[in-house]
């Protein structure tokens, strides 16, 4: 059970209060204080928090705030990308990133400590898997970023991407609980359409996401258009090959009436040729799809490099000419090691 305040949905909070003999009507000011005002310590003096709730907050039965400490923090040269290293109650550390511009910030969140998927180019994959995060620990990351934004930029988070450490669909229930809280209009009220869940192809999770009550965007990391090539970058492809992955994506797109976003990390000499671009077009034919092209963010454990700008443009031209919408994702924040797991990896190395 998850008893931290951040991880309780509105309904779960009402149930907790009722169980303790407090009228559930008190859930409203408390939920607002936790998720809108982002209070942690002085909840009992928040607006609308009346004596019965104050007594409950002081009692043993009350849910407490999620323990999370900011232990590292680095900003990009342009000041818009900021990466946070957060220590959890058991000493585990995860990263969250704020990206964007004033007025439209995106928070990139972690779903696990480490990752079991082992993608070869990824700093988190190179660490291995430690544990899943709880819903509280996922929501608390958003609060951390939002608090800092309000304090430093006067801004606010408009979008959420589950693209930090971990495979979110491998930690399905806590991730969905957290996102349902973050998108609750009685709290932070970030629209579900502004939430993207990134996966390397964890098919049972895609199928469940397709049937989830809220419609979150699906972003699938492809990086290869054949099982042989993709399998060399993403070991999970051996378990769930491309044909099954694309079938699950088509089902999501049809049932949710939504476009699927595909990420293609461009790796020089590995998957950046004209032929690769043409095969990407071929496998996505007929699907409501958008491709995000991401020049490789270099990591210590993977020797390959990003292609030059000209090659990136040529690759994009081929898929654009075929009518497949695409965007080249700028490598913003590379000076803050903004690829997932990189800040933690650097810290581990420094402390060895």
Interface size with ligand SF4, residues (CB under 6 A):
12
Q: Kindly state whether residue 296 participates in binding ligand SF4, applying the rule CB under 6 A.
A: no
Distance (Å, rounded) from C-alpha 275 to C-alpha 282?
11
Dihedral Cα 66, 72, 76, 80, nearest 10 deg: 20
Q: Which residue's CB is nearer to ligand SF4, number 30 or number 306? A: 306
45: burial class by Cβ within 10 Å (0-12, 13-18, 19+)? exposed
Q: Kindly state whether residue 280 participates in binding ligand SF4, applying the rule CB under 6 A.
A: no
Question: Which of 95, 137, 146, 177 does the annotation list as catalytic?
Answer: 95
Identify the CA nearest to 81 among candidates 152, 168, 136. 152
- Token readout for 230 is 């993709």
230: burial class by Cβ within 10 Å (0-12, 13-18, 19+)? buried
Establish whether 340 is a catalytic residue: yes
Supply the minimum distance, in Å, between the C-beta of residue 161 and ligand SF4: 12
153-212 residues near ligand SF4, rule: CB under 6 A = 165-167, 200
Answer for the pair 261, 218: CB distance below 8 angstroms, yes or no.
yes
Binding mask 319-338 for ligand SF4 (x = CB under 6 A): --------------------
Question: Of the listed pieces 59-67, 111-119, 178-186, 299-307, which binds ligand SF4 according to CB under 6 A?
Answer: 111-119
Supply the minimum distance, in Å, between the C-beta of residue 119 and ligand SF4: 3
Q: Kindly state whether residue 97 participates in binding ligand SF4, applying the rule CB under 6 A.
A: no
Question: Of the listed pieces 26-34, 36-44, 116-124, 146-154, which binds ligand SF4 according to CB under 6 A?
Answer: 116-124
Q: Which residue's CB is nearer to ligand SF4, number 146 or number 167? A: 167
Question: Of the listed pieces 50-58, 120-128, 152-160, 243-251, which binds ligand SF4 according to CB under 6 A?
Answer: 120-128
Q: Kindly state whether residue 124 participates in binding ligand SF4, applying the rule CB under 6 A.
A: yes
Using the CB atoms, write b or e for 258-273: b if 16+ within 10 Å: bebbbbbbbbeebbbe
Establish whether 108 is a catalytic residue: no
Distance (Å, rounded) from C-alpha 14 to C-alpha 24?
5
Candidate list 176, 340, 343, 345; residue touching ligand SF4; CB under 6 A: 340
Q: Kindly state whether residue 115 participates in binding ligand SF4, applying the rule CB under 6 A.
A: yes
- Strands 93-101 and 129-132, by their bridges, are unpaired
Identify the CA nearest to 110 among candidates 161, 37, 40. 161
Catalytic residues: 95, 340
Binding residues vs ligand SF4 (CB under 6 A):
115, 117-119, 122, 124-125, 165-167, 200, 340
């Amino acid at each position: 059970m998850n008893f931290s305040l951040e991880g309780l949905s509105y309904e779960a909070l009402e149930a907790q209060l009722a169980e303790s003999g407090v009228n559930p009507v008190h859930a409203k000011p408390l939920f607002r204080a936790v998720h809108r005002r982002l209070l942690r310590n002085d909840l009992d003096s928040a607006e609308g928090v009346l004596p019965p709730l104050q007594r409950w907050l002081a009692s043993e039965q009350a849910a407490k705030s999620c323990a999370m400490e900011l232990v590292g923090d680095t900003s990009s040269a342009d000041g818009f990308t900021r990466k946070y290293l957060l220590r959890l109650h058991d000493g585990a550390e995860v990263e969250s990133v704020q990206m964007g511009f004033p007025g439209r910030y995106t928070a990139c969140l972690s779903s696990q400590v480490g990752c079991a998927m082992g993608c070869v180019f990824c700093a988190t994959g190179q660490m291995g898997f430690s544990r899943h995060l709880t819903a509280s620990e996922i929501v608390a990351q958003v609060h951390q970023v939002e608090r800092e934004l309000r304090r430093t930029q006067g801004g606010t988070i408009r979008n959420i991407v589950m693209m930090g450490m971990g495979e979110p669909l491998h930690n399905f229930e806590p991730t969905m609980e957290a996102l349902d809280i973050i998108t609750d209009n009685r709290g932070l009220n970030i629209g579900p359409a502004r939430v993207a869940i990134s996966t390397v192809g964890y098919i049972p999770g895609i199928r469940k996401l397709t049937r989830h009550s809220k419609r979150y965007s699906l972003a699938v990391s492809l990086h290869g258009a054949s099982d042989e090539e993709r399998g060399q970058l993403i070991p999970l492809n051996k378990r769930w090959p491309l044909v099954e992955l694309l079938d699950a994506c088509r089902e999501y797109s049809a049932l949710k009436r939504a476009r699927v976003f595909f990420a293609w990390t461009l790796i020089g000499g590995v998957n950046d040729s004209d032929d690769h671009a043409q095969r990407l077009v071929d496998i996505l034919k007929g699907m409501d799809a958008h491709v995000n092209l991401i020049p490789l963010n270099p990591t210590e454990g993977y020797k390959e490099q990003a292609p030059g700008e000209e090659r990136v443009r040529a690759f994009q031209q081929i898929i654009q000419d075929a009518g497949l919408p695409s965007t080249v994702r700028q490598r913003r924040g590379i000076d803050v090691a903004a690829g997932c797991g990189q800040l933690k990896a650097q810290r581990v190395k420094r402390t060895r």
